């Protein structure tokens, strides 16, 4: 879900990174949905050339996906096909997380991988030849040394699934299943419902993504200077996964060099969302249980990471106690834990609904952990913004799954009825509560007010407020930096006296605002991406 302030925030990000013209095209697509080139030109009132260039920029940086839409023709006519463009708002929001992605890569891989990955983030998507050109421009070593280093770094990044092949440039979005052939069996009917439930963005992305064997397959190096040693190691350095997958996608040798100039690579955001979600879940659990339980949960995350394919999987792959213990003792902290301690920790995790157990097979309940994190985040906001009394009343309603009457709320929270009513009205006006009036007729008519927290509605409201806050922080940071542009560009030897003090002040302001942005983005991830 993208809220109104989420749209404004996304447009602001594009404006800051690529300018007003590109942002105008982007906003048009966000607000109007998929459009043809002709309609984008008409709605934005820009020239065709300006729109084309803006779309090329957005596509290059993975913010827009082109696709061919099949539509029914008129009477007696066949299907019609036209190219449309759809904006990928999530990819725009991910641009503020590039520093987090880089930290993950730098923690696991070497500096050459980090440099190569940073280039992909900067340019959006690159071919192997473009990566080689960038590396050769920055290195004094021989071309063959640079070439081998770049290919080796790319292989490491692809093996870790941090980099993937780009999706098809213009996938075909065929007519929906129900329009092609009406279902005759009950089984097919359920497929029809699933098809209808998919958004057009999901359908486009599903059609564009390469199949798994091709998505993480590295092109072999067939250049004449590769050497015999390179040929001997081809089977281990060319592919990711089983050799049979490579055999299916291996290009002809005579076309290998050409493929390196055609196949585009980009950062695999899905993999980084896995990492960030796992990290967030571990931190949420850390606030509630001891280090032993956190160590066991971390081990379960590591053991199931490779098996997870979808970012929003609610439960991890089930593991036996023995498998969990084997993973636990791989870490330094886990080596201090006994088998019985691991069992006890699993019991702790299960009592808090962080882990589910079926026939001695344990799986992480990501949905339960994320919901707990969201609830605590909202409660923290209410406490800081309104006060302790308001927090107590809100927490009571948040923990209840039914409507509560004003008198009961007053009694349970030990608050005066008049104060309780004022607090409830205040929270209701701020969209934190849902209220219903019930009129009871009898010997005399009476009215009751019932209150409830509807979590999904509330979470959407809180997310919109977070996007609003992120937009304000980003604009404030841009203002502060623009105001001191001359000072920031001044050579360090000329920043003395008052200028040095002023420079140090703007550094502190920048550091504070950027730190606040990152913390706020952690909360946005919790409500929007996990």
State residue 194's pLDDT score: 40
Sheet holding 361-364, edge to edge: 319-320, 361-364, 355-358
State residue 76's pLDDT score: 65
State residue 144's pLDDT score: 65
Q: How many CA atoms lie within 13 A of 497 on its CB side?
A: 2
Q: Between the CA atoms of 306, 307, 312 and 315, what dihedral angle is there, to the nearest 10 degrees?
A: -120
Distance of CA 494 to the CA centre of its chain: 43
User: 164-183: buried (b, 16+ CB within 10 Å) or exposed (e) per residue?
Assistant: bbbbeeebebeeeeeeeeee
CA distances from 355 to 296, 307, 347, 361, 364 (A): 11, 17, 9, 10, 5
Residues 307-332 pLDDT 10s: 665 445 678 889 999 999 999 999 99
Residues 167-187 pLDDT 10s: 999 999 887 654 444 444 444
DSSP state of 69: E
State residue 308's pLDDT score: 65
Give the residue carrying structure tokens 């043809």: 36
What is d(CA 340, CA 338) in angstroms, rounded to the nearest whole number?
5
Give the residue carrying structure tokens 């955001």: 269
Q: Write down how long the chain is.
A: 530
| List of long-range contacts for 445-453, beta carbons under 8 Å, 24+ apart | 448/405, 448/406, 449/405, 449/406, 449/424, 450/403, 450/404, 450/405, 451/397, 451/403, 451/404, 451/405, 451/406, 451/409, 451/424, 452/397, 452/400, 452/402, 452/403, 452/404, 453/394, 453/397, 453/398, 453/400
State residue 495's pLDDT score: 83
What is d(CA 34, CA 45) in angstroms, rounded to the nearest whole number?
17
Neighbours of 99 (CB within 10 A): 12
State residue 241's pLDDT score: 42
Residues 246-273 pLDDT 10s: 443 444 444 444 577 789 999 999 999 9
Helix, coil or strand: residue 443: coil
Point out the residues of the chain with pLDDT beneath 70: 1, 73-76, 139-144, 176-197, 219-258, 307-313, 442
List the beta bridge partners of residue 452.
Answer: 434
**Closest alpha carbon to 157 in 112, 98, 205:** 112
State residue 173's pLDDT score: 87
State residue 20's pLDDT score: 96
Q: How many CA atoms lie within 13 A of 397 on its CB side?
A: 31
State residue 219's pLDDT score: 67
What is d(CA 284, CA 522) in angstroms, rounded to the nearest whole number?
12
């Amino acid at each position: 879900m993208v809220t109104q302030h989420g749209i404004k925030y996304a447009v602001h990000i594009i404006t800051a990174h690529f300018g007003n013209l590109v942002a105008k095209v982007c906003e048009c697509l966000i607000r109007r949905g998929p459009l043809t080139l002709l309609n984008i030109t008409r709605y934005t009132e820009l020239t065709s050339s300006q729109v084309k260039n803006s779309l090329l920029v957005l596509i290059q940086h993975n913010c827009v996906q082109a696709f061919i839409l099949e539509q029914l023709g008129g009477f007696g006519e066949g299907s019609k096909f036209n190219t449309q463009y759809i904006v990928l708002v999530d990819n725009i929001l991910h641009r503020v997380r590039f520093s987090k992605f880089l930290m993950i890569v730098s923690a696991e891989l070497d500096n050459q991988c980090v440099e190569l990955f940073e280039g992909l983030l900067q340019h959006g998507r690159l071919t192997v030849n473009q990566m080689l050109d960038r590396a050769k421009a920055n290195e004094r070593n021989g071309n063959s040394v640079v070439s081998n280093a770049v290919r080796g770094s790319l292989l490491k990044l692809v093996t870790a699934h941090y980099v993937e092949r780009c999706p098809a440039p213009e996938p075909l979005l065929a007519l929906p299943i129900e329009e092609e052939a009406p279902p005759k069996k009950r089984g097919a009917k359920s497929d029809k419902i699933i098809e209808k439930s998919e958004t057009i963005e999901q359908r486009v992305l599903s059609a564009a993504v390469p199949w798994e064997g091709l998505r993480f397959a590295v092109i072999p190096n067939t250049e004449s200077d590769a050497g015999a040693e390179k040929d001997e190691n081809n089977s281990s350095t060319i592919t990711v996964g089983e050799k049979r997958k490579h055999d299916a996608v291996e290009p002809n040798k005579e076309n290998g060099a050409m493929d390196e100039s055609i196949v585009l690579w980009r950062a695999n955001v899905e993999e980084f969302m896995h990492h960030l979600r796992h990290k967030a879940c571990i931190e949420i659990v850390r606030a509630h249980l001891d280090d032993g339980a956190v160590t066991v949960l971390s081990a379960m995350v590591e053991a199931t990471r490779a098996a997870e394919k979808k970012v929003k999987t609610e439960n991890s792959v089930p593991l036996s106690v023995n498998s969990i213990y084997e993973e636990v003792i791989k870490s330094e902290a886990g080596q201090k834990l006994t088998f019985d301690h691991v069992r006890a920790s699993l019991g702790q995790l299960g009592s808090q609904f962080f882990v589910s157990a079926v026939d001695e097979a344990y799986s992480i309940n990501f949905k339960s952990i994320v919901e707990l994190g969201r609830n605590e985040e909202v409660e923290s906001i209410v406490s800081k913004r309104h006060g302790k009394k308001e927090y107590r009343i809100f927490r009571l309603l948040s923990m209840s799954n039914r409507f509560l009457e004003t008198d009961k709320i007053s009694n349970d929270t030990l608050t005066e009825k008049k104060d309780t009513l004022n607090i409830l009205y205040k929270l209701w006006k701020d969209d934190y509560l849902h209220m219903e009036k019930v009129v009871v007729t009898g010997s005399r008519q009476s009215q009751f007010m019932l209150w409830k927290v509807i979590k999904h509605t509330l979470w959407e409201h809180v997310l919109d407020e977070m996007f609003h806050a992120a937009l304000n922080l980003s604009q404030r940071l841009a203002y502060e930096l623009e105001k001191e542009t001359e000072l920031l560009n001044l050579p360090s030897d000329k920043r003395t006296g008052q200028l040095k003090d002023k420079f140090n002040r703007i550094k502190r302001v920048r550091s504070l605002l950027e730190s606040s942005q990152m913390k706020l983005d952690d909360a946005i991830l919790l409500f929007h991406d996990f």
